[in-house]
Amino acid sequence: MDEFSLNFPGGKKVEVIYGKHSVMTDQPLDNGGDDEAMAPFDLFMASILSCSGIFALSFLRKRNLNTEGLNIRMYPNWSEDEHRVVEVKMEVDTPADFPEKYRGALVNVLDACSVKRHLGQPPEFNIIIN
């Protein structure tokens, strides 16, 4: 995998660069940012949803199923006591003609999302200070 790098363009903004792409993050107003982009944790949550979305879309396309109306909404349940998300609820809207026989398989596909799988088996982090 190539290198990820970052820039600090000002305030509490961070620009992450990977290859020819970049993503900007910022902090909310109540945390000293300008609220001009998602916060890093929000981007993490968005990566779970976008991964689930592409897995679902690919599942339907592979079976030549209609994709019109496919939508997923995600509701993270934040615990103030634990200061973390303790549950993530996803609601999937399937196309009107989605076959009942694929419901369980679609749940399995969403569970197989690469980003989500990393939560169950997190990588080892090696931090080197130069």
Instruction: Specify if 5 maps to a domain.
Output: yes
Residue 1, pLDDT above cutoff 70: no
Which of 41, 102, 117, 47 has the alpha carbon at shortest distance from 70?
Answer: 102
User: For 41-73, what is each residue's pLDDT tens digit?
Assistant: 999 999 999 999 999 999 999 999 999 999 999
Range of the domain at 104: 39-122
Average pLDDT of the residues of the chain:
95
pTM of structure: 0.89
- Pair 22, 1 in one domain: yes
Specify the CATH number for the domain of residue 72.
3.30.300.20
- Pair 70, 25 in one domain: no
User: What is the Cα–Cα distance from 93 to 59, expressed in whole angstroms?
Assistant: 14
Instruction: Specify if 128 maps to a domain.
Output: no
User: What is the Cα–Cα distance from 39 to 12, expressed in whole angstroms?
Assistant: 10
Q: In total, how many domains does the chain have?
A: 2
Instruction: Specify if 127 maps to a domain.
Output: no
User: For 70-120, what is each residue's pLDDT tens digit?
Assistant: 999 999 999 999 999 999 999 999 999 999 999 999 999 999 999 999 999
- Pair 70, 17 in one domain: no
